[in-house]
């Protein structure tokens, strides 16, 4: 996959689709087309015409707030929900109506779902059904070694920590070498410190095993850190799909802009690749015309102390590696992130300058 | 090391000493009659005992009891497992109604169920009189199995339904994603998870079955307890009865031991700390709904419809008016034992519960185990032990209300203990401690603070014992004071004499009372978040 | 605390069983439905309350022996003479004027118990499933293979036990055991008492039963079409044994007078007419007792067919039960 250039004034080609179908991976693994599911009893989120493709070995994050349908989508791919419409193809084969056990897709549940009546080794061996005893045992031990738990093979699941349980669940799934692994909120049961550590481990394990994976999460930081591509879902639809960088830098909508990272929202009047805003004429990341809503990331704004400046600092939070400023200019209050160096006191007059192209999001 | 694990330099509270003494007294009371049963059994010389025990008949009795237990466990499982699955895992319409209907058969005790099955067949039976054909009289192994299964399956149903709700469905889905077919998932994942519930239910039903006397006697099936009764009442030598009772107790205790062993050896708790996934119901479709209700309907018709229909039939065949005085007298006699038994059981359960909750130690564990002896020992054997105890050790108690009430209280102590103990667990010790800080002694605190707090639990325990004692049969049979004719005995005697018509009002009264018990179980079940 | 106080009060109240001066304690081996009405009549006439402990005749006999001197019972009313013979050492001598009310064959030779009503042992059968020629000539035939699966037996019933005891006296233990084993070998339907036996034949579970005569009348009174018939064995066969229910006063009773009054009442015309007319038994005393008609075998028929047998010889209930147990019937 091609890394996007990180130049300050990068502009997306005008013909680029905001849904990121621009570059298809060389070898398609999974094609999801027009997937829909409606619930009458209302206890699960509905999904409306979700489509995407992913390549072999790719890590895709399904990101969205709770109730957006991401877990339902995942369960339809896994075979635990029957779609009302749409098709799912794995390596070109239509698996839409296959039972879960015939799909060859691994599933790691939010609560890991380790079998409490079996020990760790037996859990990992559970899916190795075609194999005779000795090779199955060897394979299970190999998987445990891979996740670094070979010394805990005889423990019962309840004797393990959350992170260990998760690694066992992953080992159990990867033992059968599925081309695709589905992970439902895999880190939500871990504490914050464990989460950061574990997610790189999981990414490494998946890459080592060569399995593609779809990860469902509501944590944008997790999605951006872990996935090769991120699909953002809102109210049952995929609203944007792309690399973490694309999603972050070129949010397709106001929703994406505010759900992924923080954004300041400006009103302006666009005119092709530029727009007039309260902060002057700014370059746009994609063409627009007429009245536009623009998203500006806090780190795209420069803060300059200026006793005659039009804005004033109304709040400040020192965070060590950077600082947050809330700055009032006229009607709007802007969030600005700046380096830890110069510290500007609350009440000081400042001038704001936007130093990058901004994204129209309406 | 003393059993009370005292810490050097730390004062053992007076309350703890008092409660421990009371608890030990209750435990001793529980064992005393059984001690007399042993004494009586070992009075005989070895040769006689050996001759008695090696009779082919003893082996036949063992086989009969084993066959009956296996039959009841199998049939009640075949009824309860699909019902629990339908109610908790499918979208079957009317699941709430079915849930109530599935527990309702508890209101029809085994001997009343046997009465219903017997009243169905025969020359004067329901079928011959209303539809003009007769079925063979249900009897023997299959008759007893049917009567006991139709009555006991709700115990298993309640356990299984709770287990189904507690089963994390992602476990089953994990197994599917690892390549298991639904049938394999059931065997490799669901069934192991249901095992504790199955075993707990089987224990209750197994103990009930080997201890049951009414249904097997009416069905003329020569299981242990029926023959113990027969030997006790008809044969000169009580030795054989005593030995049969000892064997029965040994079987019961081995059930309990195996169940606890199996449970210790396995862990079934859900491990994930997450919320698990939401309930997802199996969509049965129209055909599935018809099949589901077909099955449920058959179970409900057999377990509730049948007794009610047969009973109604017999009730309408004679005027109720002339029977009423005798019925009320019988009812009054049942009350005169059930009410004090309930109160005594609660009084006994209090110190045992307090020990378990407030002063946990090896001693309190021992006392709490002893409190369950009366529940585990089959009622007929327990009653026989009391007969020997009162004849040899306490003649003044023989055939008195006091002895019957005490036997009831000890036999049902475990039932009273449950709600009282949970109420105590919920009452915060800090409230008691602040009363202490305000200058009250431990006894005063118990009376003025603890007891009022746990009153709902105490009342619940008493209600449970009360309704059970109202319909109890074997203990009443052996320990009845002269002239004591409670509902259960009257109903049973008349049924066993073939006087189904005369038995009907008593059976109806028992069902009405047991319905209270069921209502209580359902309420408790709902509160427990079932 | 209130709860505790209530409990203690209730327990204390119940522990003290009420005692009134004129109250008799009766152990009755006769069924409640048979005798409760006549006991109520006695209480109504004399004002003496009777507390009754109902149970099997053998059961109560054993109970009396276990209780020994401390038995609360004043009277023991048994279904059959074997139990009376067993308890005889515990009974008090009855006054002559009471004993004289019945013929000597209906009472204990030493005057410790007395018969209250007579009944005949005989065969009952299903007229729907049994041909006349199938009926056995002697009770000894019941071990025949042709009765396999067609018999009902109430092995714990007092009359059955007494009848077996009589067979021991007549034919010896060896013959009796063989006969019992023959019965057991015919795979009989085991019933708990005679009523259940009649019911079993009506319900089609069994075709024959050796039992007492008087139950049929009660069934016929309720349903003239009751599908059970009676037959006597050949004249003089032990199967037609005429027996009595009987009663005695416990020596340990401190109410001898009231107890004897109860017995006198049972031998009086009111009670005898009740036994004859309502229970369909045979009277043992009194004049002008109206016999029942059309309710099975009559007193005259039964007397004619009855064997010569001294009921006083039936004493060993314990040994008889041992034989029944050895044969595997209980």
B192 interaction partners in chain A (CB closer than 8 Å): 115, 117
**Residue at B245 is within a domain:** no
pLDDT score recorded for residue B31: 92
| Host domain of residue A235 | 28-104+178-256
Query: Does B230 fall in a domain?
Result: no
DSSP output for B175-207: HHHTT--HHHHIIIIIHHHHHHHHHHHHHHHHH
User: What does the pLDDT read at residue A9?
Assistant: 38
Q: What is the CATH number for A229?
A: 3.40.50.300
Question: Does B381 map to a domain?
Answer: yes
Q: CB–CB of C300/C85 below 8 Å?
A: no
Domain C18-118+242-294 CATH assignment equals 1.10.3720.10:
no
Closest CA to A351 of A316, A299, A305, A292: A305
Task: Look up residue B449 and give its DSSP letter.
Answer: I
Q: Tell me the average pLDDT across A108-130.
A: 86
Q: How many domains does chain A have?
A: 2
According to the model, what pLDDT value does residue C121 have? 94
Pick C53's closest partner by Cβ from B447, B451, B483: B483
Whether B272 and A109 lie within 8 Å, measured CB to CB: yes
Task: Please give the structure tokens belonging to residue C174.
Answer: 């060896």
Check CB contact under 8 Å for A189 and B176.
no
CA distance B99 to B97: 5
Arithmetic mean of pLDDT over chain A: 85
Model confidence at C246: pLDDT above 90: yes
Instruction: Specify the pLDDT at position B1.
Output: 37
- Higher-pLDDT residue of A84 and B281 is A84
Q: Residues A244-253: what's their mean pLDDT? A: 89
CATH code for the domain in which residue B103 is found = 1.10.3720.10
Indicate if A294 and A341 belong to the same structural domain: yes
CATH code assigned at A304: 2.40.50.140
Per-residue pLDDT, A89: 94
> A52-61, A332-341, B114-123 — which one is most confidently predicted on average?
A52-61
Say if CB B31 and CB B373 are below 8 A apart: yes
DSSP letter, residue B220: T
| Residue boundaries of the structural domains of chain C | 18-118+242-294, 119-241+311-326
What is the average per-residue pLDDT within A311-322? 88
| Residues B299 and B372 occupy one common structural domain | no
Residues C321 and C330: their CA atoms lie apart, in Å, by 9
Complex confidence, ipTM = 0.74
- What would the pLDDT profile of C27-41 be if each residue is shown by its tens digit? 999 888 889 999 999
For residue C172, pLDDT beyond 90: yes
* CA–CA min distance B280, chain A (Å): 9
Regarding whether A307 and A250 lie in a shared domain, the answer is: no
Over residues C46-56, mean pLDDT: 89
Residue A2 lies in a domain: no
Look at residues A256, A272, A304 and tell me which one is the last residue of a structural domain. A256
Output the pLDDT for position C138: 94
The total of other beta-carbon atoms located within 10 Å of residue B182's CB is: 15
Chains touching A by CB (3 or more pairs below 8 Å)? B
Per-residue pLDDT at C14 exceeds 80: no
Q: What is the CA radius of gyration of chain B?
A: 25
Q: What is the three-class DSSP state of A33? A: strand
With contacts defined as CB-CB under 8 Å, which chain C residues touch B137?
200, 203-205
Same domain, A283 and A333: yes
Say if residue B209 is in the same domain as residue B338: no
C156 interfacial to chain B (CB closer than 8 Å): yes
pLDDT of B341:
96
Compare CB distances from B57 to C6, C155, C328 and report the shortest one's residue: C328
Single out the residue in A256, A287, A303 at which a domain terminates: A256
Model confidence over A210-227: pLDDT tens digits? 899 999 999 988 899 889
pLDDT at C240 over 90: yes
What pLDDT score does A360 carry? 86
Position C184 confidence tier, pLDDT thresholds 50, 70, 90: very high
What pLDDT digit, counting tens, does each position of B460-501 carry? 888 888 888 888 888 998 888 888 889 998 898 888 777 778
Share of chain C above pLDDT 70, in %: 94
- C17, C53, C59: residue with CB nearest B233: C59
On whether the CB atoms of residues A217 and A62 are closer than 8 A, the answer is yes
In sequence order, the β-bridge partners of residue C115 are C246
Task: Kindly give the parts of chain B with pLDDT less than 50.
Answer: 1-10, 269-277, 528-530
* Interface contact B343-C3, CB threshold 8 A: yes
Looking at the structure, do residues B33 and B165 belong to the same domain, yes or no? no
Percent over 90 (pLDDT), chain A? 30
Token representation of residue A261? 């990272």
Those of residues 37-66 in C touching chain B at CB distance below 8 A are 51-56, 58-59, 62, 66
Question: Does the beta carbon of C12 lie under 8 angstroms from any beta carbon of chain B?
Answer: no
Instruction: Say yes or no: B481 and B447 in one domain.
Output: yes
Q: Which one of A204, A231, A256 terminates a domain? A: A256
- What is the reported pLDDT for B271? 42
- The pLDDT assigned to A168 comes to 92
DSSP state letters, A210-236: T-EEEEEES-HHHHHHH-SEEEEEETT
pLDDT in the model for residue A26 = 56
Shared domain for B86 and B150, answered yes or no, is: yes
CB contact under 8 A, C203 and B398: no
pLDDT at residue A44, as a whole number:
66
Class of domain C119-241+311-326: alpha beta
Q: Are residues A295 and A245 in the same domain?
A: no
Q: Which residue of B has its CA nearest to A174?
A: B178
Q: CB-based contacts of B135: which residues, under 8 Å, 6+ apart?
A: B120, B121, B125, B127
pLDDT band for position A43 (cuts 50, 70, 90):
low
If asked whether residues B37 and B106 sit together in one domain, one would say no
Residue C318 pLDDT level (bands cut at 50, 70, 90): confident
**Smallest Cβ distance to C15: which of B230, B346, B402?**
B402
Q: Note the pLDDT of residue B276.
A: 41
Number of domains in chain B: 2
How many CA atoms does the CB half-sphere of B474 hold within 13 Å?
33
Query: pLDDT per residue over C127-165, tens digit each?
Result: 999 998 899 999 999 999 999 999 999 998 888 999 999
* Residue A117, pLDDT above cutoff 50: yes
For chain C, the average pLDDT equals 87
Q: A352 and A268: one domain?
A: yes
Tell me the average pLDDT across C225-250: 93
The whole domain housing B166 covers: 55-222+285-317
Residue C325: pLDDT band (50, 70, 90) is confident
What residues pair up with B243 in beta bridges, in sequence order? Answer: none
The C-alpha atoms of residue C236 and residue C137 are separated, in whole angstroms, by 10
Examine the domain organization and report whether A221 and A350 are in the same domain: no
Report pLDDT for A16. Answer: 40
């Amino acid at each position: 996959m091609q890394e996007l250039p990180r130049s300050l004034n990068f502009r997306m080609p005008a013909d680029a689709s905001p849904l990121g179908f621009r570059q298809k991976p060389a070898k398609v693994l999974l094609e999801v087309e027009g997937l829909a599911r409606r619930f009458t009893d209302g206890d699960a989120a509905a999904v409306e015409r979700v489509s995407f493709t992913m390549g072999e070995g790719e890590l895709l994050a399904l990101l969205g707030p709770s109730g957006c349908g991401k877990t339902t989508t995942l369960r339809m791919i896994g075979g635990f929900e029957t779609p009302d419409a749409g098709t799912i193809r794995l390596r070109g084969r239509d698996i839409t109506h296959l039972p879960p056990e015939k799909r060859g897709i691994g599933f790691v549940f939010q609560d890991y779902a380790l079998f409490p009546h079996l020990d760790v080794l037996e859990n990992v061996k559970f899916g190795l059904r075609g194999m005779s005893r000795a090779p199955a045992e060897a394979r299970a031990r190999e998987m445990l070694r891979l996740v670094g738990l070979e010394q805990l093979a005889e423990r019962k699941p309840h004797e393990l920590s959350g992170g260990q349980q998760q690694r066992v669940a992953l080992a159990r799934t990867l033992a059968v070498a599925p081309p695709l692994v589905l992970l439902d909120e895999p880190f939500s049961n871990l504490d914050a410190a464990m989460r950061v550590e574990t997610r790189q481990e999981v990414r490494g394990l998946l890459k080592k095993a060569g399995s593609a994976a779809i990860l469902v999460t509501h944590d944008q930081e997790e999605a951006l850190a872990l996935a090769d591509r991120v699909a953002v879902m809102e109210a049952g639809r995929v609203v944007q799909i792309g690399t973490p960088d694309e999603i972050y830098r070129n949010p397709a909508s106001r929703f994406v802009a505010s759900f992924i990272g923080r954004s300041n929202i400006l009103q302006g009047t666009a005119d092709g690749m530029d727009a007039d805003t309260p902060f002057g004429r700014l370059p746009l990341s994609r063409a627009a015309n007429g009245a536009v809503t623009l998203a500006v990331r806090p780190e795209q704004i420069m803060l300059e102390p200026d006793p005659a400046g039009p804005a004033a600092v109304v709040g400040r939070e020192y965070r060590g590696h950077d600082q947050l400023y809330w700055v009032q200019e006229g009607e709007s209050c802007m969030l600005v992130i700046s380096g830890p160096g110069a510290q500007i006191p609350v009440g000081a007059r400042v001038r704001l300058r936007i130093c990058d192209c901004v994204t129209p999001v309406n | 090391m003393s059993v009370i694990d005292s810490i050097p330099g730390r004062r053992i509270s007076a309350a703890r000493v008092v409660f421990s003494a009371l608890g030990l007294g209750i435990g001793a009371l529980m064992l005393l009659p059984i001690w007399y049963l042993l004494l009586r059994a070992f009075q005989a010389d070895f040769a006689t005992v050996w001759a008695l025990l090696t009779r082919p008949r003893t082996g036949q009795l063992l086989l009969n009891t084993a066959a009956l237990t296996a039959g009841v466990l199998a049939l009640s499982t075949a009824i309860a497992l699909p019902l629990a699955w339908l109610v908790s895992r499918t979208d079957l319409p009317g699941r709430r109604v079915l849930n109530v209907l599935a527990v309702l058969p508890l209101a029809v005790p085994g001997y009343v169920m046997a009465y219903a099955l017997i009243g169905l067949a025969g020359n004067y039976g329901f079928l011959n009189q209303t539809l003009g054909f007769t079925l063979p009289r249900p009897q023997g192994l299959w008759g007893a199995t049917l009567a006991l299964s139709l009555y006991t399956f709700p115990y298993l149903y309640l356990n299984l339904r709770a287990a189904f709700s507690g089963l994390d469905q992602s476990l089953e889905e994990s197994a599917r994603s690892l390549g298991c077919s639904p049938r394999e998932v059931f065997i490799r994942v669901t069934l192991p998870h249901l095992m504790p519930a199955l075993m707990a239910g089987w224990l209750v039903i197994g103990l009930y079955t080997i201890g049951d006397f009414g249904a097997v006697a009416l069905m003329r099936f020569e299981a242990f307890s029926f023959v113990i009764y027969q030997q006790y009442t008809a044969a000169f030598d009580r030795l054989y009865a005593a030995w049969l009772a000892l064997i029965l107790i040994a079987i019961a205790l081995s059930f309990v031991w195996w169940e606890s062993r199996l449970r210790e050896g396995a862990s079934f708790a859900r491990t994930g700390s997450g919320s698990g996934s939401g309930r997802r119901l199996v969509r049965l479709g129209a055909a599935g709904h018809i099949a589901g209700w077909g099955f449920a309907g058959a179970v409900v018709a057999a377990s509730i419809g049948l007794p009610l229909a047969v009973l109604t039939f017999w009730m309408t065949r004679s005027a109720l008016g002339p029977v009423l005085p005798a019925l009320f007298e019988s009812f009054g006699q049942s009350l005169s034992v059930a009410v004090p038994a309930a109160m005594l059981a609660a009084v006994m359960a209090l110190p045992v519960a307090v020990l378990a909750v407030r002063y946990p130690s090896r001693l309190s564990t021992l006392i709490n185990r002893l409190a369950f002896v009366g529940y585990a020992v089959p009622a007929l054997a327990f009653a026989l032990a009391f007969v020997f105890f009162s004849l040899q050790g306490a003649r003044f108690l023989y055939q008195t209300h006091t002895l019957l009430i005490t036997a009831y209280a000890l036999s049902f102590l475990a039932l009273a203990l449950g709600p009282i103990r949970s109420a105590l667990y919920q009452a915060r010790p800090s409230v008691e401690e602040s009363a202490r800080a305000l200058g009250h002694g431990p006894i005063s605190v118990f009376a003025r603070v603890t007891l009022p707090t746990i009153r709902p639990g105490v009342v619940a325990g008493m209600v449970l014992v009360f309704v059970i004692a109202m319909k109890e049969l074997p203990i009443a049979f052996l320990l009845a004071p002269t002239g004591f004719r409670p509902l259960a005995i009257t109903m049973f005697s008349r049924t066993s004499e073939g006087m189904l018509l005369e038995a009907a009002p008593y059976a109806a009264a028992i069902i009405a009372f047991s319905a209270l018990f069921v209502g209580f179980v359902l309420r408790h079940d709902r509160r427990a978040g079932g | 605390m209130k709860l505790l106080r209530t409990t203690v009060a209730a327990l204390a109240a119940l522990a003290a069983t009420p005692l009134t001066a004129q109250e008799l304690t009766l152990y009755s081996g006769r069924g409640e439905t048979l005798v409760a009405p006549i006991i109520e009549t006695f209480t109504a006439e004399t004002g003496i309350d009777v507390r009754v402990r109902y149970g099997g005749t053998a059961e109560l006999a054993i109970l009396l022996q276990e209780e020994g001197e401390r038995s609360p019972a004043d009277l023991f009313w048994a279904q059959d003479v074997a139990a009376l013979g067993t308890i005889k050492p515990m009974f008090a001598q009855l006054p002559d004027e009471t004993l004289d009310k019945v013929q000597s064959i209906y009472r204990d030779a030493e005057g410790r118990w007395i018969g209250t009503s007579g009944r005949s042992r005989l065969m009952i059968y299903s007229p729907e499933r049994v041909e006349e020629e199938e009926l056995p000539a002697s009770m000894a035939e019941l071990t025949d293979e042709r009765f396999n699966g067609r018999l009902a037996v109430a092995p714990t019933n007092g009359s059955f036990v007494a009848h077996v005891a009589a067979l021991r006296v007549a034919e010896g233990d060896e013959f009796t055991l063989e006969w019992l084993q023959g019965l057991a070998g015919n795979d009989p339907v085991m019933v708990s008492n005679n009523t259940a036996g009649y019911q079993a034949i009506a319900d089609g579970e069994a075709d024959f039963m050796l039992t007492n005569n008087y139950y049929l009348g009660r069934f016929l009174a309720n349903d003239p079409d009751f599908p059970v018939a009676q037959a006597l064995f050949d004249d003089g066969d032990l199967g037609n044994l005429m027996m009595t229910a009987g009663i005695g006063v416990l020596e340990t009773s401190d109410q001898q007078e009231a107890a004897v009054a109860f017995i006198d009442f049972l031998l009086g015309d009111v009670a005898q007419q009740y036994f004859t007319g309502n229970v369909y038994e045979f009277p043992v005393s009194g004049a002008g007792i109206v016999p029942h008609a059309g309710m099975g075998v009559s007193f005259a028929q039964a007397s004619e067919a009855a064997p010569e047998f001294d009921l006083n010889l039936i004493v060993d209930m314990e040994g008889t039960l041992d034989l029944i147990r050895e044969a595997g019937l209980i």
